[in-house]
Amino acid sequence: GAVVSQHPSWVICKSGTSVKIECRSLDFQATTMFWYRQFPKQSLMLMATSNEGSKATYEQGVEKDKFLINHASLTLSTLTVTSAHPEDSSFYICSAILREGRQPQHFGDGTRLSIL
């Protein structure tokens, strides 16, 4: 079946570092991917919509200069957390939908980001 792969699964780094997270659709083309942030015992919160070949669309309150999104191909979107600080520590999850529509939506396995 369709699979979405995220890499890395866990990152620990010092404050001020920029961290890049990759999201790949392994066996299908995804014109649209989504990036979520999840705090412990909370639901997934949509951060941005990543569109292949165009600029990402950010949700209200999400700093686009802080969370850089690039969707350079139909199978890869990247999220870069720039100059990360401890408050950026969270679980980041991506998802992708099939080219023809919104079903099904597949989630990656998430990336745990810990900023010291």
Partner 1 sequence: KNQVEQSPQSLIILEGKNCTLQCNYTVSPFSNLRWYKQDTGRGPVSLTIMTFSENTKSNGRYTATLDADTKQSSLHITASQLSDSASYICVFLGGGGADGLTFGKGTHLIIQP
Residues that bind partner 1 (CB under 8 A): 4, 6, 9, 34, 41-44, 46, 49, 57, 59, 91, 93, 95, 102-105, 107-110, 112
**Of 57 and 83, CB closest to partner 1:** 57
44-66 b/e with 16+ CB inside 10 Å = b? Answer: beebbbbebeeebebeeebeeee
* Cis preceding linkage at 40, omega within 30: no
**Of 4 and 83, CB closest to partner 1:** 4
Q: How far is the CB of 114 from partner 1 (least distance, A)?
A: 12
**Of 73 and 105, CB closest to partner 1:** 105
Evaluate whether 95 touches 111 at the Cβ level (below 8 Å). no
